[in-house]
Structure 1
Amino acid sequence: MRLFVIGADPRRERAFSTWLRAGLSVTLADGVTAGCFEHAVDRFHPVEVRDERADVESLVRMAAGHDGVIALAEGSLVTAATVARELGLPGPGVGAARIARSKIRQREAGERHGLTGPRHAAVTGPDDLVRFFAAGVQAAVLKPADASASASVFAVQGVEEALDRWPQVRAISPSRTGIVEEYLPGAEASVEAVVRDGETVFSSVTRKQTGGPTGFLELAHTTDRADRPDTAVNALVRDLIAAWRVESAILHVEAKLDGDRPVLLEATVRPGGDYITELVSVVHGRDLYLDQAHLALGQPLAPDGPARAQRAEVRFLLASGTVRRNVAPVEVLDGLTDVKIVRQLVPAGSRIPPLTANWARAGYAIGWSADDGESLTGQLRAAVSDLGKLMGTPELT
């Protein structure tokens, strides 16, 4: 079976190794290749695939003869869904992909179908911010309407701070559009859902910790086998599928789950990033990348594999300055029995980028345990702290 991948964001290595082990022939089309995945595929086409600039007709010709089409990049969701439709292959649906690419469209679709969400407004200029805060809102979130990776997502207190942040938000949006929303307190979580023909066949919950200079950089994700979607969360996912008319896709849904009723923040029609798929695989034995391929190929989904842990977690290093040296994982892992992976993301001699997006994080550690989640978190915190010190860029607190 031949799989045509249109765009792949960084840190998707496991997707390609999963498909290789499954015996698939994979073609990648990507003009950015930030993840350097061209060595991991059978065929590679260095072409522009982002939604705003892609030559869809050329991509349809390239994909002809393949059995499935998918995207691993937020910026190419509509392109991939369109190519799949033109070839008569399964996909999330072009309409669902278009909604996923715009937080404004997400809010509009949610309102039409009664999905609970924060008060919000589209922003194309300063006047929109003035009008939004004039209604009495103080704590708010200002972000691009069509960017990912928590890029230029800012917590703002009042209109003056929002106006000050607006140029940064506008600059990173392909459409030069933002959205401002009333801030909702409480912890965030993500729901990963496997959707086939509009029906959910698997779902899981991953808890999220955010912070950093913007307030919304993703610091940690935790998946626990005991923390499964309840009736209200399943209803939220079902309502979202109906509102967006999702056909077949892996849904990544971000929400506030701690109140009486879950509140949708945003969602997309591709597997979650930040190694969430790895956490789900370890805890639930469910390989979302394999599910994504099987959905696109129209094949039966594989049964769950063995669960390796009760709890799995990834933690990220936030730091600043110039990295002094490259750190070998063995320098960090000694004695941390539950920590399995440690990786530096910024090489020696490089200055860590401004901390306004997830891509500016300097490293990470992943681990899992059979029972003691508190011990696991402590070990991961120690690993990330030690990594920062050894790099010469101590962890920001």
Structure 2
Amino acid sequence: MKIIAYSYTDPLLEVAPDPLMWGWEIDSVYQDLGERQQLRQLLEDCKEEPANYLLIRRLAELGDSVEEVCDRILDLESLGIQMITTESAAYHQTPLQLLQEIQSRQRSDRIRQGHAQRRLKASPAPGKAPYGYRRGKDRYILDRSAAPVVKDFFEQFLLYGSLRGAVRYLEKKYAKKISASTGQRWLTNPVYRGDTAYKNGEILSDTHAAIVSREEAAQIDRLLRRNRRLPPRTASANRSLAGLVVCGECQSPMTITRVTASRKPGEYLYLRPTKCFKQPKCRAISYQEVLEQTIERICQDLPRAVATVNVPNMDGIKGTITHEIAAKQDILAQLPTLTENGILDSETAQLRAYKLRTEISQLQSRMASLPPVDLQAIAQAVSISQFWLDLSESERRFYFREFIRQIEINRQDSSWEIELVFIF
């Protein structure tokens, strides 16, 4: 008994399957990529030495139209070959059902091929352009009235690290109302960074004019990662210690309470536990006193903590990635010449260019995720108490969260002291 297998792969839609995927003792495996030369070879070989069974994933792989598929089925049946499909139950279907399945599959493939052709040309995905852009002939173009609004939104987020604060800023300055979830999508949308993302998860870099630079995008990603560690809504709180302080006795998060005296100007701020299980409950502590001690401790403890961190050689890592990007860009620049000289056909060159551009995009993402500055140098710069005292509360909030994961208050009878837990 002779068993053979056949597969057809459209290089625009998928990669060729592993020849060992069949899980049978196969005598011969025929694989086509883009054209069906191996299918013709299969038929020629079976005329000389017929096979008993042909394994195939789907009957639709036998041709580009229903007529071609039917002709190939008749050719195989005339040679006495029994077909076994592994991804559809063809042997349980009526001829009409089988025809409908083939038509549906080929219609789906044609739609996917159209989308794939758009990806090869780095054209935008179907659908409405994101706010701030308009659809051009083959790429997004800036909407001159809306792009400045988006740019201002990003700048506000970069300045204060607060998503809800940036959303409120848009409504106040431009009367542009968006939800926090929409703002979150803006911050993570590759389109605003000059890239085009597709439903298959792949991203092409530098396909159109960007609203935010690569450096700004990297900082946005760092701020979003940092804010995810904080309790809900504290990322946009007015006070710099919001979301950072925990009671060492009951391990309860501490919230900021504002108290005003009757007929007296000014207000008093306290930190009190929100979920204290002790009786009597842990008492509230002056916000200003905790703030002053936090500044004192960060100036003392931060340089020592940074000195113990094993920081990798960022310059070396960035140099390696930069070299890889340059090498791929050099290959990309050679493709038009290879096509003109007949070494590559246009379709192969387009596929190679698309693969190179996605690889470049991945390398740029790796580069953006690396720390942007020397941690030891910045630790020395911020270890001066006057630096912190000169900042506003919102600015202090921004910098505290760059270094501090948690502030723990340890109580000792009538006194207390704080312990800082750094993010590294």
TM-score > 0.5, shorter chain as reference: no
Higher relative CO (CA 8 A, sep ≥ 6), structure 1 or 2?
Answer: 1
> Scaled by the length of structure 1, what TM-score is found?
0.26
Which structure features the higher share of strand residues?
1
> Scaled by the length of structure 2, what TM-score is found?
0.25
Which structure features the higher share of helix residues?
2
